[in-house]
Amino acid sequence: MGLNVGFMWGMILMICIVGCAGNPRPGVPVSPPKELKGGAWRGVHFLSPGKSGLPPLRRAIEESLAPMGVNVLILEVNYGYEYQSHPELRGQNALSKTDARELAALCRKHGIRLIPQFNCLGHQSWAKGTFPLLTKYPQFDETPRIPLDNPGIYCRSWCPLHPEVNKVVFALMNELIAAFRADAFHVGMDEVFLIADEQCPRCRGKNPAELFAKAVNDYHTHLVKQKGLTMLMWGDRLLDARGMGYSEWDASRNGTAPAIDMIPKDIVMCDWHYGKRKDYPSIPYFQEKGFCVLPSGWNNPEASLAFLRYARAHSSEKMLGHLCTTWYGANDVSLALIGEMDKSRVKPEVLNLVEAIRACMRELAQHRD
């Protein structure tokens, strides 16, 4: 009888974990059962370390992340993969299919769900460098008259209305899904400042919210409706910065916020805020709008815990848990996690980041049940 009961609850837990993040029927809102409330997803978001950085990351998974209870790893790959469909879009030090398979297998061994990420729409450049998609396919650029060393802008975007861009992007997504044997996919979508730009012959004069929603819906159709995956995205462009009191970074001031009412509700919203506040109004807002929410903090342990605790205090059945983002080189973060980085040379922010991860995982472990 005990064995049967244990098996039964194991099956229930498996079903629960699918919940918001499984294969919902199109158009049917899904909610994880109360058993998951406040602590099911114990996640960490990593930038891809590239091929040379895999050994420290593997050790960090085995020696640090898994023992502290991490069960979701979002790996932002972007152009750091040896794409076969579009080899011209491979970045340097790219992961191979074998690398991806082995890393995914290691995560499964330790009960960690590996979710690949490809940053969509925005973040197509950084500082003076423009990423491969817009250098190889300049016709996809939302702001084609801005030089490729990006003077005066934060990050470039691709045009969501170009008739050929999705064909290329979906091919890259498909390769990552197959390589990591993924059942979920993160499409990024944060900090999109260049949209409906006057330089774009297709987007000029159009509604930014409708353009943003069009992009989200395109990715949802491909990933959820056609592939049966769970789709995750950063939620900042769906928040009104002025109405909620957030900054222009973690919420929108360029007209994209109304897109929240134009997209499917079965997308997991990764709601990121990195500073300490008395309240985080986006937490109840996303839930009231019907979305499952994964609050996401960064490198300030006190602020991360404040965000986590606020989210738990204002959680419904749609609260998934917590995600710790890193945003530093994966090699440095991995070495700091396993305690093999020279503390006299490492950035203090990296050590603060590791402490934030540990503090959040301890907090989540206390409320796991």
pLDDT digits (tens, 9 = 90+) for 325-361: 999 999 999 999 999 988 777 889 999 999 999 999 9
Write down the pLDDT at residue 143.
Answer: 98
The answer to whether residue 175 scores a pLDDT higher than 60 is yes
Q: Which residues of 285-308 are buried (b: 16+ CB within 10 A; e: fewer)?
A: bbbebebbbbbbbbbbbebbbbbb
pTM over 0.75: yes
**Mean pLDDT to the nearest integer, 91-106:** 97
CA distances from 2 to 5, 7, 8, 14 (A): 5, 9, 10, 18
Tally of domains within the chain:
1
Distance CA 179, CA 281 (A): 38
Q: Is residue 31 part of a domain?
A: no
Backbone angles phi, psi at 31, to 5 degrees: -135, 140
CB 270 within 8 A of CB 225: no
Q: Where are the beta strands (DSSP E) in the chain?
A: 41-47, 72-76, 113-120, 125-126, 129-130, 184-188, 230-234, 268-272, 293-297, 321-325
Q: Helices 330-337 and 348-366, interaxial angle, to 10°?
A: 60
**Taking the CB of residue 161, how many other CB atoms lie within 10 A of it?**
16
| Average pLDDT of the segment spanning 81-100 | 97
pLDDT at residue 205 in the model: 97
Residue 186's nearest CA partner among 286, 93, 73 is 73
Helix (H, G, I), strand (E, B) or coil at 185: strand
pLDDT, position 341 = 83
Sorting pLDDT into bands at 50, 70 and 90, what band is 367? Answer: confident
What range does the domain containing 193 cover? 38-119+167-366
Tell me, yes or no, whether 6 lies in a domain.
no
Rounded CA separation 289/180 (Å): 31
> DSSP letters of 189-237?
--S----S-TT-TTTTTS-HHHHHHHHHHHHHIIIIIIT--EEEEE-GG
pLDDT (tens digit per residue) in 14-60: 434 444 644 333 333 444 433 334 448 999 999 999 999 999 999 99
Residue 272 near residue 302, CB atoms below 8 Å = no
What is the rounded average pLDDT of the residues 225-230?
98
318, with CB counted inside 10 A (0-12, 13-18, 19+), is buried
pLDDT for the residue numbered 4:
42
Q: What are the φ/ψ torsions at residue 126 (nearest 5 degrees)?
A: -150, 130
13 within domain boundaries: no
Q: Return the CATH number at 312.
A: 3.20.20.80
Q: Counting beta carbons within 10 angstroms of the beta carbon of residue 73, is it exposed (0 to 12), middle (13 to 18) or buried (19 or more)?
A: buried
Q: Per the domain annotation, does 78 fall within a domain? A: yes
In a domain, 237, yes or no: yes
Q: What is the pLDDT of residue 161?
A: 98
Question: Is 24 contained in some domain?
Answer: no
Kindly tell me if the per-residue pLDDT of 6 is higher than 70. Answer: no
**Rounded mean pLDDT, 193-205:** 97
Q: What is the pLDDT of residue 20?
A: 61
* CA–CA gap between residue 233 and residue 260 (Å, rounded): 12
Range in 282-291, 303-312, 336-345 the model is least confident about: 336-345
**Which whole number is the average pLDDT over 73-89?**
98
> Looking at the predicted structure, is the pLDDT value of residue 280 above 80?
yes
**Band of pLDDT at residue 366, cut at 50, 70 and 90:** confident
246 in a structural domain = yes
pLDDT over 90, % of the chain: 86
Is the separation of the CB atoms in 48 and 80 below 8 Å? yes
User: What average pLDDT score do residues 93-116 get?
Assistant: 98
pLDDT at 347 (0 to 100) = 87
Q: Answer yes or no: is 200 within a domain.
A: yes
